[in-house]
């Protein structure tokens, strides 16, 4: 009943705000449309989110992520000004007498210490700035800035930079898992060229799978979600790969402490089609292999990860473009031990593969479309084997997800200040949450492929972004449908954002979003690990739901400064967690050939609950000039309540963090010399720590009953107090980096020196109890912390040729 | 160039002043001594026992013994009848009660009150579950699949057979809100004189009654050495338990605290008030044979 009511009201509001407004607005004077694409002049790549301003009416729009823009304006001559940070301003004079198609090529600004002056040329009061954007809780991260921020072992990492933004927290030391506004690491929709990436971690989360060299743009949305996004509760991280330079061959090679990388891009047919390939591999295993092999009889142990991105595109005509892109990445730990005539081998690996084919088509000057075919694959493999003359034992555990998706999105710009987006999407998920193969000798004694679960997730959405006086209004509505095991979930997801411009550089904003998530990540440790199990919502396990409201104020200042303050409240329902005592390792049926297939399956081991998070975020940013960077501060609370956890009482989430502060500074000391530093501070993670022992007299239910007697079966149990009631030490760290650039004959070389954890803070990674003997020879239990990374200096070399 | 020098000097200074902290001791959670009370009632026994002790610290010097409280006053009250009996203190924090005024009745709720010498009072409530009756337990589905051979690959030359077994037991006539747990074994046999004994491990060993019914599913395989004749089952042997939520929580707590480092620590599920830990719960059981069909 509630669902139906929400559905009706959402649709009603969308139509009321958007289409009725369009209807009224159409009864005015004669109009013409100017439309086309905006390109980077040097590479020929299409540029999204570029501001297009029409004077004298001061009508502003922006290009979509495929570079398409369209403005329908009153008849008459107009000056069309195009502006994008880091690029020179460009303008064209348009007669405004007829519909016109135009491609605009804008030029990258040469990086000089004076380049910030160019920004000041922008027409005052009509910058596409933070105060001017209706969308709140959204941050675009310039890829170039990511490359200038110091990182662990010099490995530039998109997700680590996202962790420095307000409202986003990291899980633990070095982890790339992110927690947005109280949501878990599974509540973030990570999409790379439209394809979902399930596990974005390399090396247990110390690095992310996203190679910055292959990326064109990164966008984080943590609230006020556009209706085009669905399927996750807390954030969307939308990453777009570079299309490839269609003008000339360029590339980049980099050598770091633990890995090397390369990127090559260039035209297949100049101006028509291009390609981009980018790869990265760690080589610690290769470097240490000879030493390991030399020191024993052939036993070895190692680890590596690699990833590879590729993309190609073809401009069929000015109205049609084709893109195909893919990502392939893998992590692998391996051990081979030889002892006499026996051999022990183990493998532990996981990997993602994505493939996306897209077709951009422009139906008319006002209507643009993008159709996508998407494939995404994730697998986790644990293999253990012993081979000897007498016997052979092999065990393989696999968890696999395959997604096959289709999307069709439309971008319709019927009137000045109106951008209507609508579309449909559908994904066929094939989950294999766990499959075990055990072989003894040549025989397979167990081949238990836990039934593949097929689920179908679809969405249909419509949203209109329009301006009404000083209001920017952005209503949207999404209906999601999910089908599993014969059960259908149909959920309405209303979205609404609005801003009111108090002045041209000062706006107040508000947003509302309801989201549903049809997939859960079962985590036994509370931090994101590869052994965490992705499981679908089923007929017994409902999808998760969140409702988020946010309000804030944004102000732009001269000199490229901007400040935003946002408050939010988010509630979450139908979250799942392992019951007390359950874990991935306790699913005994995985290892016990005699255990029943469906006993102790994950559905029996989980419990459902609710959660809520609220807080305030402050973001002060300077994007341009010799000094750039930001200050991000979050004050927040995240609480959970599960009937079967913590005695049914409310407890803090592990990632509840009262204070989270990030300072990021990048200073261009000279044309060829950049210094950067980041400092982070976060309240310690909430953990469950032992507090005392209690005497327990057990009672065993058995075939032969006995009466409980407190004097029998004496033992002791641990009193953990309340769940997550103890705080680890606060986390803080300073990273510094220096980059030296030098122009060479065919390119630019960059030497980078950086220090992670520059003042060697012993940040806690985890706590453990340890028995020791004190001076009187008595046993003492102590609480200890393990610190992972001391100060880690690193050096890397990059050569970019063009 | 001056700026470059300044930056380099800053970096070198930072490196010189770095600390060298390693794994280190940290302050443990503040310890608060808490009373711990245990009392599990059943109508199968005329005596009700209880124990009162205090927790001991986890960190610091390890103490062998718990501090037992011998001077508590422990009172059992029948809430609906408004009568009460007081336990007798035995040695070592043990208490015993042969109720006089209080009568244990099915579905009746009782309150245990513990008065400690420091003046604190801790209470918990428990409801006696309906009597467990083995006759309420029926085998509603039994299937023995086709046996298949498993060869010994270690050179021993012998082979054994695995017989898939699916059993569903249904407990009926139980009021909602109570928990049930069967502890049973199956006794498959064949016409060749082979008898097996198979413990039944259910997918969920303790379940909450809903609409008066609780179903338990067991699926496994049992070994046999000779497939001379197909196996049959016509009876199960064991016991069935009924319990209230407090007993069920206690049971789950004690078996989940196994120290697996990868699992979330199990919080002891206590139902005492005012900061005390412990369980006041009730259970019942019945033993016998379940015939099939």
In this structure, what CATH number is given to the domain that contains residue B52?
2.60.40
What is the model's pLDDT at position A598? Answer: 43
**Distance, CA of A578 to CA of B260 (rounded, Å):** 14
pLDDT above 70 (res B24): yes
Which residues constitute the domain of residue A75?
2-119
- Contact of B235 with chain A, judged by CB distance below 8 Å, is answered with no
pLDDT band for position A614 (50/70/90)? very high
Give the pLDDT confidence of A31-78 residue by residue, as tens digits: 888 888 888 888 888 888 888 888 877 677 888 888 898 888 888 888
What is the model's pLDDT at position A784? Answer: 87
- Claim to verify: residue B252 and residue B124 sit in the same structural domain: yes
Give the pLDDT confidence of A276-286 residue by residue, as tens digits: 999 998 877 77
What is the model's pLDDT at position A86? Answer: 74
**Distance, CA of B261 to CA of A768 (rounded, Å):** 10
What is the model's pLDDT at position A705? Answer: 87
- Contact of B64 with chain A, judged by CB distance below 8 Å, is answered with no
What is the model's pLDDT at position A170? Answer: 80
A569: which strand partners? A549, A614
What is the model's pLDDT at position A437? Answer: 58
Give the pLDDT confidence of B140-164 residue by residue, as tens digits: 888 888 887 766 555 555 667 888 8
Question: Which chain B residue has the Cα nearest residue A677?
Answer: B11
- Claim to verify: residue B203 and residue B117 sit in the same structural domain: no
Identify the weakest region by mean pLDDT among A89-93, A599-603, B270-274, B282-286: A599-603
Q: Using a CB-CB distance cutoff of 8 angstroms, which residues of chain A are in contact with residue B24?
A: 762, 784-785, 787
* Total number of domains in chain B: 2
pLDDT above 90 (res A550): yes
Maximum mean pLDDT: which of A141-150, A638-647, B73-82: B73-82
- Contact of A786 with chain B, judged by CB distance below 8 Å, is answered with yes
Q: Which of B23, B239, B255 sits opposite A786 (nearest CB)?
A: B23
A94: which strand partners? A78
Please report whether residue A270 resides in a domain.
no
- Claim to verify: residue B138 and residue B238 sit in the same structural domain: yes
Q: Mean pLDDT score of chain A, rounded to an integer? A: 82
What is the model's pLDDT at position A119? Answer: 39
> With the C-alpha atoms ordered A132, A137, A138, A141, is the resulting torsion angle positive or negative?
positive
pLDDT above 80 (res A91): yes
Please report whether residue B253 resides in a domain.
yes
What is the model's pLDDT at position A607? Answer: 87
What is the model's pLDDT at position B20? Answer: 41
pLDDT band for position A106 (50/70/90)? confident
- Contact of A113 with chain B, judged by CB distance below 8 Å, is answered with no
Interface of B with A in 30-49 (CB under 8 A): 31-34, 36, 38, 40, 42, 44-45, 49
Locate all alpha helices (DSSP H) within A296-399, ordered by sequence: none
- Contact of A673 with chain B, judged by CB distance below 8 Å, is answered with yes
A317: which strand partners? A320
CA atoms within 13 A on the CB side of B273: 12
Please report whether residue A40 resides in a domain.
yes
pLDDT band for position B52 (50/70/90)? very high
Q: Which tokens sit at B258? A: 């196994």
* The CA-based dihedral angle spanning residues A62, A65, A68, A69, taken in that order and rounded to the nearest 10 degrees: -10
Give the pLDDT confidence of A339-378 residue by residue, as tens digits: 767 777 788 888 899 999 999 999 999 999 999 999 999 9
What is the model's pLDDT at position B13? Answer: 46
- Claim to verify: residue B276 and residue B191 sit in the same structural domain: no
Which residues constitute the domain of residue B95?
35-58+65-129+245-258+266-288
- Contact of A1 with chain B, judged by CB distance below 8 Å, is answered with no
Interface of B with A in 161-200 (CB under 8 A): 162, 181, 183-185
pLDDT above 70 (res A427): yes
- Claim to verify: residue B143 and residue B239 sit in the same structural domain: yes
- Claim to verify: residue B125 and residue B142 sit in the same structural domain: no
Give the pLDDT confidence of A184-228 residue by residue, as tens digits: 888 999 999 999 998 888 876 677 888 888 888 888 999 889 999
Query: Rounded to a whole number, what is the distance in Å from the CA of A598 to chain B's nearest CA?
Result: 8
Evaluate whether A77 touches A89 at the Cβ level (below 8 Å).
Answer: no
- Contact of A646 with chain B, judged by CB distance below 8 Å, is answered with yes
Locate all alpha helices (DSSP H) within A591-645, ordered by sequence: 602-605
CB contact under 8 A, A693 and B55: yes
Percent of chain A with pLDDT over 70: 83
Please report whether residue A79 resides in a domain.
yes
Interface of A with B in 733-752 (CB under 8 A): 736, 738
CB contact under 8 A, A696 and B23: no
Give the pLDDT confidence of A697-744 residue by residue, as tens digits: 778 888 888 888 887 767 788 888 888 889 999 999 999 999 999 988
- Contact of A780 with chain B, judged by CB distance below 8 Å, is answered with yes
- Claim to verify: residue B233 and residue B94 sit in the same structural domain: no
Question: Which chain B residue has the Cα nearest residue A769?
Answer: B59
What is the model's pLDDT at position A451? Answer: 63
How many other β-carbons are positioned within 10 Å of the β-carbon of residue A53?
Answer: 24
* Interstrand relation of A51-55 and A78-83 (parallel, antiparallel or unpaired): antiparallel
Identify the weakest region by mean pLDDT among A476-485, A655-664, B7-16, B259-268: B7-16
Q: Which tokens sit at B204? A: 């969920």
Of residues B204 and A407, the one with the higher pLDDT is: A407
Please report whether residue B52 resides in a domain.
yes
Query: Quick check: helix, strand or coil at residue A745?
Result: coil
Give the pLDDT confidence of A461-513 residue by residue, as tens digits: 999 988 888 888 999 999 999 999 889 999 999 999 999 989 888 999 999 99
- Claim to verify: residue B103 and residue B194 sit in the same structural domain: no
- Claim to verify: residue B162 and residue B237 sit in the same structural domain: yes
* Total number of domains in chain A: 1
pLDDT above 70 (res A450): no
What is the model's pLDDT at position A54? Answer: 83
What is the model's pLDDT at position A130? Answer: 58
* Interstrand relation of B83-86 and A686-687 (parallel, antiparallel or unpaired): unpaired
- Claim to verify: residue B88 and residue B222 sit in the same structural domain: no
Q: How many beta-carbon pairs under 8 angstroms link A with B?
A: 257
Please report whether residue B182 resides in a domain.
yes
Please report whether residue B21 resides in a domain.
no
Please report whether residue A314 resides in a domain.
no
CB contact under 8 A, A760 and B51: no
pLDDT band for position A176 (50/70/90)? low
Of residues B190 and A448, the one with the higher pLDDT is: B190
Question: Which chain B residue has the Cα nearest residue A654?
Answer: B264
- Claim to verify: residue B279 and residue B179 sit in the same structural domain: no
Which CATH number do you get for residue A6?
A: 2.60.40.1120
CB contact under 8 A, A600 and B203: yes
Maximum mean pLDDT: which of A150-164, A199-213, B159-173, B244-258: B159-173
What is the model's pLDDT at position A55? Answer: 81
CA distances, A721 to each of A638, A695, B29, B55, B157 (Å): 19, 15, 10, 11, 55
Burial of A352 (0-12, 13-18, 19+ CB in 10 A): buried
pLDDT above 50 (res A527): no
What is the model's pLDDT at position A786? Answer: 82
What is the model's pLDDT at position A27? Answer: 52
Please report whether residue B14 resides in a domain.
no
What is the model's pLDDT at position A123? Answer: 35
pLDDT band for position A625 (50/70/90)? confident
What is the model's pLDDT at position B123? Answer: 96
Please report whether residue A465 resides in a domain.
no
- What angle is formed at CA A776 by the lines to CA A771 and CA A778, rounded to 5 degrees? 35
Name residues whose C-beta falls within 8 Å of residue A138's C-beta, 6 or more positions apart in sequence: A219, A220, A221, A222, A224
A39: which strand partners? A46, A105
Q: A655 preceded by cis ω (within 30°)?
A: no
A8, containing H or E segment: helix A2-14
What is the model's pLDDT at position B44? Answer: 93
pTM assigned to the model: 0.82
Query: Quick check: helix, strand or coil at residue A148?
Result: helix
Query: Rounded to a whole number, what is the distance in Å from the CA of B220 to chain A's nearest CA?
Result: 5
Please report whether residue A32 resides in a domain.
yes
Interface of A with B in 749-778 (CB under 8 A): 755, 758-762, 764, 767, 769, 771, 774, 778
DSSP state, residue A185? G
Question: Which chain A residue has the Cα nearest residue B33?
Answer: A692
Of residues A452 and B241, the one with the higher pLDDT is: B241
**Distance, CA of A110 to CA of A743 (rounded, Å):** 13
Q: Using a CB-CB distance cutoff of 8 angstroms, which residues of chain B are in contact with residue A697?
A: 38, 51
What is the model's pLDDT at position B16? Answer: 42
Q: In the predicted model, what is the mean pLDDT of residues A140-168?
A: 81
- Claim to verify: residue B122 and residue B250 sit in the same structural domain: yes
Question: Which chain B residue has the Cα nearest residue A774?
Answer: B61
- Contact of A440 with chain B, judged by CB distance below 8 Å, is answered with yes
């Amino acid at each position: 009943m509630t669902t139906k009511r929400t559905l009706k009201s959402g649709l009603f509001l969308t139509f009321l705000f958007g289409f009725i407004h369009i209807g009224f607005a159409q009864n005015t004077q004669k109009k013409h449309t100017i439309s086309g694409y905006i390109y980077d002049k040097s590479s020929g790549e299409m540029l999204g989110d570029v501001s297009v301003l029409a004077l004298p009416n001061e009508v502003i729009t922006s290009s979509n992520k495929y570079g398409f823009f369209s403005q329908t304006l009153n008849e008459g001559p107009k000056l069309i000004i195009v502006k994008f940070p880091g690029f020179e301003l460009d303008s064209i004079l348009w007669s405004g007498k007829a519909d016109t198609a135009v491609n605009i090529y804008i030029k990258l600004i040469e990086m000089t210490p004076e380049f910030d002056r160019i920004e000041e040329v922008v027409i005052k009061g009509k910058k596409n700035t933070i105060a001017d954007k209706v969308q709140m809780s959204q941050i675009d991260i310039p890829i170039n800035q990511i490359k200038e921020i110091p990182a662990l072992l010099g490995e530039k990492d998109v997700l680590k930079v996202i962790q420095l933004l307000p409202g986003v927290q990291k899980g633990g030391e070095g982890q790339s898992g992110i927690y947005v506004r109280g949501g878990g690491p599974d509540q973030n929709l990570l999409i790379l060229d439209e394809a979902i990436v399930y596990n974005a971690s390399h090396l247990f989360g110390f690095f992310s799978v996203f190679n910055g060299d292959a990326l064109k743009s990164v966008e984080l949305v943590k609230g006020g979600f556009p209706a085009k996004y669905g399927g996750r509760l807390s954030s969307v991280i939308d990453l777009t790969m570079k299309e490839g330079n269609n003008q000339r061959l360029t590339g980049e090679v980099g050598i770091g402490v633990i890995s090397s990388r390369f990127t090559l891009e260039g035209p297949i047919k100049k101006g028509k089609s291009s390609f981009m390939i980018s790869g990265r591999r760690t080589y610690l295993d290769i470097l240490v292999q000879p030493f390991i092999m030399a020191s024993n009889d052939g036993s070895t142990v190692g680890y590596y990860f690699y990833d590879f991105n590729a993309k190609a595109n073809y401009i069929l005509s000015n109205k049609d473009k084709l893109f195909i892109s893919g990502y392939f990445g893998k992590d692998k730990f391996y051990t081979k031990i030889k002892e006499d005539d026996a051999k022990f081998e183990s493998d532990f690996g996981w990997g993602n593969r994505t493939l996306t084919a897209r077709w951009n088509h422009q139906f008319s000057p006002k209507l643009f479309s993008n159709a996508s075919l998407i494939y995404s694959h994730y697998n986790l493999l644990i293999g253990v084997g012993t081979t000897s003359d007498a016997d052979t034992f092999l065990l393989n555990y696999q968890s696999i997800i395959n997604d096959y998706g289709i999307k069709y999105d439309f971008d319709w710009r019927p009137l000045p200040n109106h951008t209507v987006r609508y579309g449909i999407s559908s994904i066929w998920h094939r989950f294999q949450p766990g499959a075990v193969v055990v072989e003894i000798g040549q025989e397979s004694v167990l081949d238990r492929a836990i039934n593949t679960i097929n689920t179908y997730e679809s969405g249909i959405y419509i949203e209109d972004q329009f301006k009404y006086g000083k209001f920017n209004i952005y209503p949207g509505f999404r209906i999601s449908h999910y089908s599993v095991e014969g059960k259908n979930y149909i959920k309405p997801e209303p979205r609404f954002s609005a801003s009111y411009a108090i002045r041209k550089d000062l706006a107040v904003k508000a947003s509302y979003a309801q989201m549903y998530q049809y997939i859960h990540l079962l985590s036994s440790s509370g931090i994101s690990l590869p052994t965490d199990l992705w499981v679908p919502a089923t007929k017994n396990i409902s999808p998760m739901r969140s409702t988020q409201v946010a309000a804030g104020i944004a102000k732009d200042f001269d000199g490229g400064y901007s400040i935003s303050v946002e408050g939010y409240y988010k509630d979450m329902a139908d979250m799942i967690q392992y019951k007390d005592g359950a874990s991935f390792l306790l699913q005994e049926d995985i290892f016990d050939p005699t255990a029943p297939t469906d006993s102790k399956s994950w559905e029996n081991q989980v419990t459902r609950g609710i959660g809520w998070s609220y807080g305030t975020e402050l973001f002060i940013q300077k994007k341009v000039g010799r000094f750039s960077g930001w200050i991000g501060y979050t004050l927040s609370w995240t609480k959970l309540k599960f009937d079967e956890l913590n005695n049914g009482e409310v407890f803090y989430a592990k990632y509840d963090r009262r204070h989270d502060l990030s300072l990021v500074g990048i200073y261009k000391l000279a044309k060829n010399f950049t210094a950067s530093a980041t400092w982070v501070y976060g309240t310690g993670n909430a953990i469950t720590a032992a507090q005392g022992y209690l005497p327990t007299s057990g009672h065993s239910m058995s075939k032969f009953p006995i009466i409980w007697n407190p004097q029998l079966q004496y033992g002791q149990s641990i009193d953990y107090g309340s769940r997550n009631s103890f705080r680890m030490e606060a986390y803080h760290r300073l990273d510094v980096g220096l980059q030296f650039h030098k122009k060479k004959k065919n390119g630019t070389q960059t030497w980078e020196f950086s220090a992670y954890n520059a003042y060697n803070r012993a940040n806690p990674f985890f706590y453990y109890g340890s028995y020791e003997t004190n001076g009187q020879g008595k046993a003492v239990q102590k609480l200890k912390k393990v610190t992972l990374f001391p100060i880690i200096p690193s050096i890397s070399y990059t050569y970019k040729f063009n | 160039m001056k700026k470059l020098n300044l930056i380099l000097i800053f970096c070198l200074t930072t490196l010189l002043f770095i600390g060298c902290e390693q794994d280190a001791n940290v302050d443990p959670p503040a310890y608060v001594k808490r009373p711990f009370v245990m009392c599990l009632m059943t109508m199968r026994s005329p005596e009700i026992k209880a124990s009162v002790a205090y927790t001991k610290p986890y960190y610091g010097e390890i103490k062998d013994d718990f501090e037992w409280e011998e001077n508590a006053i422990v009172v059992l009250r029948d809430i609906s009848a408004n009568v009460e009996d007081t336990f007798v203190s035995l040695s070592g924090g043990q208490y015993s009660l042969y109720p006089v005024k209080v009568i244990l009745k099915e579905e009746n709720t009782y309150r245990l009150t513990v008065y400690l010498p420091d003046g604190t009072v801790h209470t918990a409530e428990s409801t006696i579950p309906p009597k467990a009756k083995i006759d309420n337990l029926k085998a509603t589905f039994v299937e023995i699949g086709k046996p298949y051979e498993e060869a010994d690959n270690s050179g021993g030359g012998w082979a054994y057979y695995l017989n898939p077994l699916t059993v569903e037991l249904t407990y009926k006539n139980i009021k909602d809100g109570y928990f049930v747990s069967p502890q049973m074994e199956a006794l498959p046999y064949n016409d060749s004189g082979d008898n097996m004994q198979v413990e039944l491990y259910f997918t969920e060993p303790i379940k909450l009654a809903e609409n008066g019914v609780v179903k338990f599913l067991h699926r496994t395989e049992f070994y046999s050495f000779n497939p001379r004749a197909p196996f049959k089952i016509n009876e199960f042997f064991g016991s069935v338990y009924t319990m209230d939520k407090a007993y069920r929580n206690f049971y789950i707590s004690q078996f989940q605290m196994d120290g697996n480092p990868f699992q979330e620590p199990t919080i002891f599920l206590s139902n005492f008030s005012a900061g005390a830990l412990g369980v006041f719960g009730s259970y019942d059981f019945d033993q016998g044979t379940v015939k099939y069909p």
